[in-house]
Amino acid sequence: MIEAAVAIGSGIAAHSLSLIAFGADSLIELASAGVLLWRLNVEMRRGDEFPDRVEQRASRISGVLLFILTGYVVLSAAYGLWVREGQDFSMLGLAITVLAIPIMWWLARAKMRVADQIGSRALRADAVESITCGYLSIVVLIGLMLQLLMPGWWWLDSAASLLIVVLLVKEGREAWEGDGSEATE
């Protein structure tokens, strides 16, 4: 929640599409994690297996949200390039992305370890989302560092945002298909 709030808030303040997209992806990841916790809670309390169709529906909702976010990012980046509108550098945005990288990698490894222990495909898929968030952090960090070093490059945030689209589409497809089995530790 903190990552999402700081990324979106600093993105709005700096007019940075890449930070806003990074924060919105964090919100989608939180929603997915909430569904996963609910699923595991049902299994633990009742001893019932969570129906695959419900798990798939929840995963597909996350996929649709990621595709909507992708559309927003593409349209906003295209508009920014069209009107030649840049963004301001955000020190707060830089700080949150620097912190997110090691946190997301640690979280993904922990989720993978537990997923392997309990044999949970859903937890493994959630770990893939954490890995993707780590990659998004790296893309945003590189974009912010270049903004700091090259302040006249007005197009940089839009270009970085389009790189994020590649990761959002990959994450959206994995959520839609409900498969995180190809993730690596």
The pLDDT value given to residue 109: 93
Residues 67, 95, 25, CA angle at the centre, nearest 5°? 10
Residues contacting residue 74 through CB under 8 Å, at least 6 positions apart: 162, 165
pLDDT tens string 101-112: 999 899 989 988
Instruction: Provide the token pair at 91.
Output: 């020190």
- Asked if pLDDT for residue 179 goes beyond 70, the answer is no
Give SS3 for 176.
Answer: helix
Report which residue type is found at 71: G
User: What is this structure's pTM?
Assistant: 0.70
Residues contacting residue 48 through CB under 8 Å, at least 6 positions apart: 42
Please state, in angstroms and rounded to a whole number, the distance separating the CA atoms of residues 81 and 9: 22
Q: Token pair 């954490």 is at which residue?
A: 130
- Asked if pLDDT for residue 126 goes beyond 80, the answer is no
pLDDT tens string 21-46: 888 888 877 887 787 777 777 767 76
The pLDDT value given to residue 98: 93
7 neighbors 29 (Cβ within 8 angstroms)? no
Region for residue 177 given its phi and psi (left: phi exceeds 0; alpha: psi -120 to 50; beta: otherwise): alpha
C-alpha pair distances (Å), 6 with each of 1, 32, 92:
8, 20, 7
